[in-house]
Structure formats: C-alpha cells, structure tokens
Amino acid sequence: MKIFILSILWILMILMPWPLKSQETRKKAEWLPKGNLFPTFRLDYKESQFSGGLYGFYTSGKWQNRVFAMFSAGLRRNIIRWQHKNDKASELGFEVCVFPQFLIEKPFETFRVNFFNIDFKVGLQYQFRINDHWRLRGRFYHVSAHLGDDYIFRYEIEHYIINYRIYEMLDFSAAWLKDPLMVYGTFGCIVHSTYGRSPLFIQLGGQWERASKKLSWFQWIAGIDIRSEQENRFRPCIHTGAGIVLGKPDRFPFTILIDYYNGFLPFSLYDNVFIQWIGASLYFDVF
C-alpha cells in the first residue's frame, strides 16, 4: 500500500502543474516521442541499456581462475513529451531492465558456465531539458536481485539468505553537457526496503566523446562513474573506461570499451563483496 500511494503521488506531482499553465506557455503534447531528453550514463552499470561484458577479476587477495560475464537488456521509453517556450521540454515515461550475470569457471580448462544471478529494475522517469546544456531527471523504481539456479545447486545453498537488494528508490539526477563533455550527478534515497537496507546513495561521473573529423561513423569515448552507497559505508565504487563508438547516431551505433572497476559487486545478494576487474564491454543502441 505504501508503494502504491508513493506511485500515485509521484504521477500527480508531475501532471498537476500542466493544467495550470496557459496555452501560450506550452505547445501541444507529443505522444510516444523518439529518444530521451536526458542522456545515458554509459559507464553506470545500473543504467537501463543493452550491454555485455567479460571480466577477469580479483578478490579475496588473488586473481580468480574465473571470468565474470555480465549483460543488460533494458530501455527507457517515454509516453508523453511537452514542448515549452525557449526550447524547454519535459517528458514522462518508464524504464525497465534485466541484468543477468554468469560465472565462467576455469575458462581455459573446463570452461564451466554457471548462471550466477539476475537483477530486475522497473520504474517511472520524469525528464526535463532546461536548455542546451542542462538536463534534469527524477525516477521512482523497484530493484530486486535473485540468485541463479546453477549457482544455488552447484554450491549446495540450502538455507535462506537475507536479500537486501529488494527495495524501491527515489532519485534525482542532473547533467551538464557541452560538446564533447558531459558531467553528471545523482542523489537517491530508498523509500522502502524489504529487509532494511541503508537508504542513501550518491553518484558522480563524466563522459567525453569526440567525433572523428574524417569519419562520420567513428567516435572516441572515455568516461568515469563513481557510486557510493550508505549500505557500504559510502566507500566509492569506481568504473572507468575508454574505447570507440561505431555507427552514426541515427543508425543504431554500438560502443566498444576497455574498462576497469574497483568497488563492491554491482549486483546480486553479494553486493558487499569488494572486487576489482578488468575486461571489455559492448554497448548497443537498439532503439
């Protein structure tokens, strides 16, 4: 009931101001618009996007004879967009994503693949374009994590594990864009947690993209994403990477990154495990 009430208040907060505005201050609403007013945080592992990566990782004082494979399949889709004066615009939509992960044991020997975990994310988003440089976003969403059957059976987990990764969160983001740079920040608070997860998190990051002067379908990209959660005593989790983008913006480009991560495991019930990994990632713009 608490989550239902919060959802209704979230929608009313967004929609109520519009009838109070005169017709001169806004244009006709556009239904099911293309794209998003708010940019994608490419190096945020928890962003709703299509991606995949393979990583060798270090934990428990040594490099593991394992490979961590991580994927995401998600989208951010808007239902309605309002155009305002002075190039301002706002939109209301939703996001949904699944994050499956696999452990590849002894990759150069037995190559045994275990389905490790899957996370789910679903929620509402409200995005606002102030001008060419500033964008804002507010979200209300649900997150949950679930261990994979392979992992449970192979490691004979017969007892119940408290799952602190079942919660609903409200967060607010701001992004500043000036070609070729984007800088962003997010503050979030868990409004409901099934098992009492600490509520606060902060996020900072930057992304640099430079188009080739000779090739219209080629770009360089680099970035960093830093995330800190109260659950883990605000110790920063750092994801950085660099690579290339292939394809024109309107032709469903894909991104190839070599990236490094140092922090707590971004997913699963074991997100209090501190790890490092290095590997390669692919990101796809399929919508």
CB 196: neighbour CB atoms within 10 A?
10
Look at residue 6 in the predicted model and tell me its pLDDT.
Answer: 57
29-284, CATH topology level: Outer membrane phospholipase (ompla); Chain C (2.40.230)
Give the start-end residues of each E strand in the chain.
30-31, 50-59, 62-83, 89-105, 112-129, 134-147, 166-178, 181-193, 200-211, 218-229, 237-246, 254-264, 274-284
Rounded to 5 degrees, φ, ψ at 158 are -110, 0
Q: How confident is the model at residue 9 (pLDDT cuts 50, 70, 90)?
A: low
Look at residue 266 in the predicted model and tell me its pLDDT.
Answer: 95
- pLDDT of 18 > 50? The answer is no
Look at residue 20 in the predicted model and tell me its pLDDT.
Answer: 41
Report pTM: 0.89
Q: How confident is the model at residue 249 (pLDDT cuts 50, 70, 90)?
A: confident
Average pLDDT over residues 67-91: 94
Contact 122, 95 (CB under 8 A): yes
Q: What are the structural domain ranges in the chain?
A: 29-284
Rounded to 5 degrees, φ, ψ at 77 are -125, 135
pLDDT digits (tens, 9 = 90+) for 107-143: 988 899 999 999 999 999 999 999 999 999 999 999 9
- Return the closest-CA partner of residue 209 out of 161, 148, 264, 257: 257
Return mean pLDDT, the chain.
90
CA distances from residue 177 to 158, 245, 273 in whole angstroms, order as listed: 50, 18, 34
CA distance 92 to 86: 20
pLDDT digits (tens, 9 = 90+) for 146-169: 999 999 998 888 888 889 999 999
